[in-house]
Structure 1
């Protein structure tokens, strides 16, 4: 269970990325029934630290030794990341953390810290698309995916630029404390409660906005009808386009195909229902549009690497309904 969170801060830390961790894990929301984390922001270089381009400084009450207590160590971006040399005590602390079963989470160029510690070797990872080529060159054993929002490799979690750091943090909360807690924090932050890590970081060829966002309207309809059979032909008709044009524009706007979008949303809905209800797997499959439990198990396992029953037991305990 996640209880103790520490942020490792170096000179030149990016203020927005640092604030993400403070917002998700550092605010005591116990008055509304949410877990309160033992949270600390730690200087791993000499105090005071410079922030961003040096517009202001930061004096922190904790040093690097505080990292040894953490269940989760967070690594924000910093402006010198692609070329800096990281303090060896920080790299040692990260390796000790992973060795004892703690998790590490980077945002944007914070992935370079993990690379320097050797924790990306042989692991899928990501960073901001702009830094991905440099990360690949510096750490050739890292399996860099520049096209996703975040990658969860168990103990090592990496995320892309800025907003995807929020996604990754909420993903960790969702894993550790469940969907209700993550959704409540997201609602307080006024951000989407969950974005699948496999979504594209950015749209290669964005459409010019018009007064009538037909694809957006169709996406809203799709989200409300996940339990129905949905075809490209049906969606194209609603959007007043040919199937080929609709499929092309959908890919341009979302970074994925209509089929993959629907599949991800159905799996996400299944996760929510498995966590928050006692409905059988068959009933969940029907509500999510999979039709039967076998189809749900197939897509659930392929997407998440686990079965619906195993997922439910993780969040609801061994007595959860099958």
Structure 2
């Protein structure tokens, strides 16, 4: 199910990039070789309709993937709970301030990640457009391989910058909280799993809806190059990072948080309840500061410059 969407999307892109309609004598060549007269307008209609179906397929498959992440996270969270209960360190109550704060922080991390990942996508797209405007020769009738490589390079650089900011921030915060209050940390992990599940489902469905709205305008209403079409394109620029970036990326975010949390919890228990010297607080504070620095970087170092 998840493979159908990219295949349909790429089929349409390949058709458009091939510019087969403009090739001289292509109708006669296809009829001679394959025995039928090509109807490129009809082919374009079917490809765009198929792309719309692919978006629906992707939106259907992604919640299943995020569901598997939450299932795995639930198992690891229960492992952490059992570890902490074994040493008598866990006393969860919804009236306790650390538990409430942990639930709030877990949800905040999910929404921070959503914004930071979309910020990286937006900035990378802006840089690519600026590069195209500055360097491309629009008089060319065919795509240039060197130009394409340059655009891919720019997009890759900003994807990697955003990835490092988010990854370091997430791991640092998880380690900081794991070495802190255990009740806060368990509530934090539960909140990430719950908020992440519903956020991912919402973003996958909303992104697919925005993308398909543009297809409805283009294919069914045949309103290309109209104000309605322009509005649908704006929606699609929001929908693409929703469904293709943030929703699927919440899967590893949930898994990494619980996995590193489980490992850090074992180390924290060793320091607090086995060894004579407890240095967990001295580990938690630097990681917390480091995480907050990269949270700041994920937005303010990825901003689009105002010139």
* TM-score (normalizing by structure 2): 0.22
Normalized per residue, the structure richer in helix is 2
Larger RCO, structure (CA 8 Å, separation 6 or more)? 2
| Higher gyration radius (CA) | 2
**Higher strand fraction (1 or 2):** 1
